[in-house]
Amino acid sequence: MMNHNPLKKIVELQKQGKNVGIYSVCSANGYVIEAALKRGKSDGSCVLIESTANQCDQNGGYTGMTPLDFKNFVLGIADKVGFDPKRLFLGGDHLGPLTFAGMDEAQAMENAEELIRHYVGAGFTKIHIDTSMKVASDDPNTRLSDETIAKRGARLARVAQDTYHKLLESDPDAIAPVYIVGSEVPIPGGAVGAVDQGVQVTKVEDFKNTVATFEKAFREQGLDEAWDNVIGVVVQPGVEEKDSGCTEYDREKAKDLMASIQEFPNLVFEGHSTDYQTKIKLRELVEDGVGILKVGPALTFAMREGMFALENIEKELIYGTDITPSGFQDALEAEMLKEGKHWRKHYQGTELELRMKRKYSFSDRCRYYMPTPAVEAAKERLISNLRTLGIPLNLLSQFMPIQYTKVREGLLVNDPVELVEDRIINTIDEYLYATHQKELL
């Protein structure tokens, strides 16, 4: 017995010709998650939050959280803001041998199986199986065949199904996971290198071959039940963020790919790296068959913008006083210079260019440093200082004009955390404009 997953309604509505999808919050940042849940509550819509394989795994990932820890973290925020957990979906992104690629196939896949067990066992109901990356025992000079990728994917789907059926024993109401297959995107966290190779739209034959080889591999393993719950395929519709801009969606370039999804009555496209697309382009993506829009850096970028704006207000307010400044930007820069593993291979240029990118790049590598103790302490001091001093409307108008208007209209509390989260909501609203996801419930 499998309990129907509400996310399958995305496919149903899309195939009825309705332009409905869902945006996916790919972030472990507390302010981002709280903003998404607050907006979901006020909008009366559902919320999808995903963790990538490198964020959370059985060993803690770079966040220090296992999938169960992450689930409890998100549920705690949902409880705090009064968001109905029945309208919350949790997903696992790029689940496979990604972080175990330095091992040979046997070890890497064994670890990937354990990763899947943790996600499905914790109750995550949207699972992106990604076995597209090579492991140490693969020939580095030969392209990984679709058959190998699909065979490994089916192996992980078997573990996911077995884990779900075991979960049903303790939780008879557990929702069956839906699956996403394919990978036509940069590695999680962003592309490496400064050279813009141009974004290539996925070829129709490559998309169709991915579907065919995965279906064959699943069915050969007796995974008909799992295949019936594959709802999406990751493709590259021609979008990507850059340091100071993005490659915008061009529906003319993607028209052949987008037309091809009509041949698959049970599938929609999943679009990664949709950050910084305009709301018009996001809506076009949904209209053209992309049922799931992934967003991550754009949300933490908005959060970082909000924090920098608050620090500018703080600097004006404490000028000439003996109040200790938060030093938020300085703390963030110091942490990034102290440990460069999250940005050095992604940013190139002169010292001035690197300094600009560390702070302001759209790829937002500084998000990895927000949880460090020094930056966290600076953030808490900034919030405390502003709550003590109060934020005058004239400075709010200067540095956060959209939030100023909402405060004046009585729609927003003039509190530093509320202001930052509302800045994130500005970006979320671009996605809600595109997805019409209230219709999923």
pLDDT at residue number 1: 54
Q: Where are the domains of the chain?
A: 8-299+429-440, 301-423
User: Token pair for residue 195?
Assistant: 């050279």
**Block residue for tokens 């067990």:** 117
SS3 per-residue string spanning 272-288: CCCCCCCHHHHHHHHHC
Q: What is the CATH number of domain 301-423?
A: 1.10.400.20
User: Token pair for residue 156?
Assistant: 């992980």
Q: Are 204 and 257 in contact (CB under 8 A)?
A: yes
The pairs formed by 347-351 with CB atoms below 8 angstroms and a separation of 24 or more are 347/194, 347/243, 348/193, 348/194, 349/194
E-strand stretches of 123-196: 126-129, 178-181
Residue 56, SS3?
strand
Q: What is the CATH number of domain 8-299+429-440?
A: 3.20.20.70
Give me the tens of pLDDT residue by residue for the chain, a chain 441 residues long: 568 899 999 999 999 999 999 999 999 999 999 999 999 999 999 999 999 999 999 999 999 999 999 999 999 999 999 999 999 999 999 999 999 999 999 999 999 999 999 999 999 999 999 999 999 999 999 999 999 999 999 999 999 999 999 999 999 999 999 999 998 755 555 545 444 456 899 999 999 999 999 999 999 999 999 999 999 999 999 999 989 889 999 999 999 999 999 999 999 999 999 999 999 999 999 999 999 999 999 999 999 999 999 999 999 999 999 999 999 999 999 999 999 999 999 999 999 999 999 999 999 999 999 999 999 999 999 999 999 999 999 999 999 999 999 999 999 999 999 999 999 999 999 999 999 999 998
